[in-house]
Structure 1
């Protein structure tokens, strides 16, 4: 599971979420099951999901040989090949029309070797006094800058001209974040409380500064520490992003600067800056303010290109009228890799989920071999880049191999091999997240098959919108849910070995894992074989 949280749009649902075990205890969910279980009997195939196979797969995926399976690294490649080989072994052919089991994508790997900003002998602290995001900047070395230009809000057009009569070519520009507002908080650009693109699209000011010839732009932000905290992966340590390297032809180097640091930078010119800002807010003629300083900025950036793969096992449906509809069952196979001599094997996170989905893929493949294949098609997809920001699943939903409008559900399995403190005396449980966020029938189906086949405790604690962990937004199902595809996420909760080198195979509960895997299979089997497609019937506000 991805550890760090970043800013995401929140899906608000129109139903009240009960964060207790078995959300509606006592209700009869049997009517939610509409598959003809005589014609489509899962019993001969569910036994394929067993603890012996799970042990065999995790012992390989979580071994030192695979070096923690970090995206773009050799161990991740070995894991991808291991998964492909299992699909071949199960008799699952390559994806039709591609001749391959892989969906290949490019990642950019960025980190700072060194970041420095010194103004008038005062050394500013990165992440506290200023911020420079990896992906938005190139290396830069500016020394002995004797003048910066305060250019208001850095806006041109919409009734404002903050660069009028100012020559900023080859200079550093300082601008205010956001846009001018009156005392009531009304934007002077939109005439409403709603901000314009000058506030919501950070690139507009940066591109304008670049077009004016500026070498860099410093954006003064009065909540810099909040920005730093919420976006820590974007400036601290290493960052991995999807796609080609950014095009810096349109962007100049850009920084966020705290209000207190800006005040120090302005020095004796601070009062001039305040007066200039007030003129803007009163829509009076504005003139850029040159500010004497002694500024040094150094960005030494390390970057490289990496390649990763989602691994796809596609089992075509048997019903000519329904086989174009698709279930996508996912687990991420990447983990944290190595740090020096330490290997993060990630047995629970997420060799457990990967092994579970392999077992489910085998069960569907065995059914097809026996002439009892599911009516709808099933895609068992192991995604990479989850630990880097849900990137593999994001790439798939941006460039789907099969049409998203035909994708009826995502079933996601992430960390299902351990037992948390709450259930130390009763390991036969699973946390269920997201099942009712978009579709009430998905929730009812999962409850129904559990009542009929597996009898696990289904705990919805982490499904609550108020849950501070926000797990709903932190695994691969979320990229499908964002596209309006109903999604369910199975999760065992965290433990003291989460994202540590001690997340090893000897702590896995294989009997519990097998039962969860059987629940995943039964839920998928019901959805794949019923007459009607599950519907989106819970809508955002």
Structure 2
């Protein structure tokens, strides 16, 4: 008799807890107000922020404003240097000019040699007459080609890989090669450390490798990177064909080939100095973009669940200025930014009242979206909190206007992506809407055949492609999209309140349910 009674009591307690959570949800969702949304949005679209283009002073001022709100609410500083920011750095570098000669013969990039812009200085010009063959270019305690050899100011030529005496690496002592064989940057660093003027690596799989690396060699996109600082860390470096190596070695080719064979058979370093006539001119196009994601963190209240995370995002950057014309970006995406700020404050107030979300919630305003989803891409690569523990992403991008299709019914929202990875996420949003907000949920743009491909065009996608369920709220485009006429006077703040409520309730449920939602569909 006792066991059914205990089960009944537990069931009643569970129902009571659920009712309390739902009551709290409604209480704090009601703190999202049109007046607060209007205040944030008019500030973000003001001339002070100059259109918030990533990498500009206007964007930095906007980030400071967002961080100041979070600080005023008492949120912990979980960003860099005890602040609210995650700095993002993206670099665009490509070859403006790349020329090489062996004696009087003009060599062809990608045919006789190739080289990566990212690991080379911005400008390099040299004429080499003195060179040294230095085995495999390794400088490790267990085996060093550099020990006792002066390479300062010289062109150093090495083979790819590492010597395997009797099928074993001198460095690992096993049949498994060391990092010197798999990470060629180690050789380039070693050449720099030892004073080499440049490093040539003989690539014995040249055609295969150049085909695989072609995009990185010729890339002109913005790439995410912790700046490798090639000027200080790497010797100028070039991968060359075996035919070019033989041509450079000239009459010394037999001696050098013999030295290589002895290194591989005996496992002891050897080097050969030789004369050459190599001319190099290399110049890069180089630009760097620096922005910041702004982090509003509400730690979960449940010790069992607080190390799981719901991430709520919106991008705060826009197009900046073109001459004297400013692009205020009221709908795109001051509307989403203002909404997430209100959700962040509501979650914070719940925590202060002792009824905060059980899981932790990160309200992150990202930069670089207009440059290609760069800020969210950066977070996915360098997450503040583990992606493996991230339950879902809730993304808000353009929620302040009404498109032509819904001009007679402003109480709608396009919902994109919720069912792509998790059936539960879709149902949570549906239930939140039917219970609290009763908006028209339009799934038109969620169709996998949608020619607009909006699913792939906002920040949620960088979570979804890493297997994290994501939902994207969007009001559709309008004639002012990406124009100077996207101004705050055209925003429907009553509509924004309703959408803010739906976003809050969905995020609240994700943060409070007993089990994290399941991924039951494959990413696409």
C-alpha deviation, 1:196, in angstroms = 5.8
Change (3 A) 1:522 1:132: same
SS in 2 for 1:534: coil
SS in 2 for 1:95: coil
C-alpha deviation, 1:456, in angstroms = 1.9
Partner of 1:92: 73
Q: Deviations over 1:383-428 (max 9, x none)?
A: 345658745785698584xx6599653424263459999x899974
Partner of 2:85: 103
Correspondences of 1:150-299 after superposition (within 5 Å): 154=137, 168-174=151-157, 197-211=179-193, 213-219=195-201, 220=203, 221-222=206-207, 223-224=209-210, 226-230=212-216, 236=220, 241-242=225-226, 246=229, 251-255=234-238, 276=257, 290=274, 292-299=276-283
Q: Distance in 2 between matches of 1:75 and 1:172?
A: 46
Q: Distance in 2 between matches of 1:231 and 1:357?
A: 39
Q: In 1, are the aligned partners of 2:420 and 2:521 still within 8 Å (CA)?
A: no
Residues 1:430 and 2:415 aligned together: yes
Q: TM-score, normalised by structure 2?
A: 0.64
C-alpha deviation, 1:526, in angstroms = 0.9
Which of 437, 441, 450 is matched with 1:456 structurally?
441
Q: Distance in 2 between matches of 1:224 and 1:468?
A: 32
Q: TM-score, normalised by structure 1?
A: 0.62
Q: Distance in 1 between matches of 2:479 and 2:112?
A: 30
Which of 360, 376, 385 is matched with 2:343 structurally?
360
Which of 288, 293, 296 is matched with 1:313 structurally?
296
Partner of 1:22: none
Q: In 2, are the aligned partners of 1:92 and 1:314 still within 8 Å (CA)?
A: no
> Bigger radius of gyration, 1 or 2?
2
C-alpha deviation, 1:252, in angstroms = 1.8
C-alpha deviation, 1:525, in angstroms = 1.4
Q: Deviations over 1:87-130 (max 9, x none)?
A: 47xx7224279998623648587768965434247486699974
Q: Deviations over 1:204-244 (max 9, x none)?
A: 221343355422224454343653425766xx47767447x
Correspondences of 1:387-398 after superposition (within 5 Å): 387=371, 390=374, 394=378
Q: In 2, are the aligned partners of 1:397 and 1:404 still within 8 Å (CA)?
A: no
Q: Deviations over 1:119-161 (max 9, x none)?
A: 2474866999744434x34455433223555667656789999
**Structure 1: gaps (5+ residues):** 1-32, 182-186
Q: Which range is displaced more, 204-213 or 342-351?
A: 342-351
Q: In 2, are the aligned partners of 1:347 and 1:503 still within 8 Å (CA)?
A: no
Q: Distance in 2 between matches of 1:127 and 1:63?
A: 53
Q: Distance in 2 between matches of 1:193 and 1:455?
A: 63
Q: Distance in 2 between matches of 1:279 and 1:496?
A: 67
Q: Distance in 2 between matches of 1:513 and 1:149?
A: 69
Correspondences of 1:411-426 after superposition (within 5 Å): 411-413=393-395, 415-417=397-399
Q: Deviations over 1:160-199 (max 9, x none)?
A: 9988999754223455666799xxxxx9979999986345
Q: In 1, are the aligned partners of 2:327 and 2:483 still within 8 Å (CA)?
A: yes
Root-mean-square deviation (CA, aligned residues, Å) is 6.2
Q: In 1, are the aligned partners of 2:416 and 2:472 still within 8 Å (CA)?
A: yes
Change (3 A) 1:56 1:149: farther
Q: Distance in 1 between matches of 2:447 and 2:471?
A: 13
Q: In 2, are the aligned partners of 1:333 and 1:383 still within 8 Å (CA)?
A: yes
| Aligned length in residues | 482
**Structure 2: gaps (5+ residues):** 1-14
SS in 2 for 1:411: strand
Q: Deviations over 1:469-522 (max 9, x none)?
A: 9949x847747986x9x4524265998999x96486269985886665444222
Q: Distance in 2 between matches of 1:129 and 1:40?
A: 65
Q: In 1, are the aligned partners of 2:91 and 2:289 still within 8 Å (CA)?
A: yes
SS in 2 for 1:69: coil
Q: Distance in 2 between matches of 1:324 and 1:268?
A: 59
